[in-house]
Structure 1
Amino acid sequence: MKLLSVTGLLLGSALASYGQTLPDSTAIKQVLERESATWRAGDVAGHTQCWQVRPYSRILISTGDGKVLDVPPAFMVSPPPNTMGKGGAAVNSHYQMSIQGNAAWVSHDEVSTAKDGTKSYSSEVRMLEKIGGQWKLVGQSIHVAGKK
């Protein structure tokens, strides 16, 4: 009986913990989807709401031809004219995440489709923080696999 009670407590604790992170994981996915959509739509205000630039923010992009771009984080909240709004769509998949309190890291794959139908593939790692009850991106690393 004691073993059953301990097992019940452990299972209940695990489920409660899972239940607490399930809303966070859903909210995080929504931020990532919104960030992709607002970039393609040219919605600067909407895109800015997905980000919080911190002193330690970093954005690294490795391109399919072997280059590495170190993008200034301010670019995500104040993009230069004509860098956003090129249209197209993105689909993220294979989400894996670790949520620890108000910090999270997420990895996922992305298939981006340009307006002309060209597809590009990337694997991404995103860092987020919960600020004022809202998840915000604070950094990312994108590894472009190529185009088809």
Structure 2
Amino acid sequence: MDEETAIKKLLEKESATWRAKDVKGHADCWHIQPYSRILVSLPDGQTIDVPPTVMKNQKPETMGNGGFAVNSNYKMSIAKNNAWVSHDELSTDVEGKRTWSYEIRLLVKVNEQWKLVGQSLHIYKREN
């Protein structure tokens, strides 16, 4: 499997495990480092600085509530064991309401597996 495909599979797994409340599967997508950071901006201008350790220590009740997401418009820079990826995401919740975001993901390769170390999500539109 080429590196771009492996990274896309990881990002799809991270999204799916979040929505499925799969604590172990979601934690497996992450490799928290001292420089890790997770920033989320909301359509109303609010910004959330999520503690990275949360990704490895989730509680199911704080995770997503089903639905699915489709990523598109991938752009990647891969340099040996480091990568950054930007993509668009269209999320659909269990009620069919959609959320659009731009996302930037930072990854490292650990034991021949890509892992997330940070991300910045910019939610720019939500259906009410």
CA–CA separation in structure 2 for the residues paired with 1:83 and 1:117: 20
Residue matched to 1:53? 32
Distance 1:82 1:64 in 2: 23
Query: Following the alignment from structure 2 to structure 1, what is the Cα–Cα distance between the partners of residues 63 and 76?
Result: 27
Return the letter of the residue paired with 1:65: D
Richer in strand (by share): 2
Q: Give the equivalent residue in structure 2 for 1:23.
A: 2
Residue identity in the other structure for 2:116 = L
Work out which of the two has the higher radius of gyration on C-alpha atoms and give 1 or 2. Answer: 1
> Secondary structure of the residue that 2:2 maps to in structure 1?
helix
Q: Deviations over 1:96-132 (max 9, x none)?
A: 0000000000000000001011000000000000001
Partners of 1:114 and 1:78 in 2: CA distance: 23
Residue 80 of structure 1: CA displacement?
A: 3.5
Contact in 1 for aligned 2:76/2:85 (Cα 8 Å): yes
Contact persistence 1:129–1:137 (CA under 8 A) = yes
Instruction: Please name the residue that 1:12 is paired with.
Output: none
With CA pairs under 8 Å and 6+ residues apart, which has the higher RCO, 1 or 2? 2
Structure 1 runs not aligned, ≥5 long: 1-21
CA RMSD of aligned residues (A): 1.0
Aligned to 1:5: none
After the TM superposition, which segments of 4 or more aligned residues of structure 1 sit over 2 Å from their partners? Answer: none
| Count, aligned residues | 127
SS in 2 for 1:117: coil
- The structure richer in helix per residue is 1
Using the aligned pairs only, state the percent identity.
Answer: 57
| TM norm structure 2 | 0.96
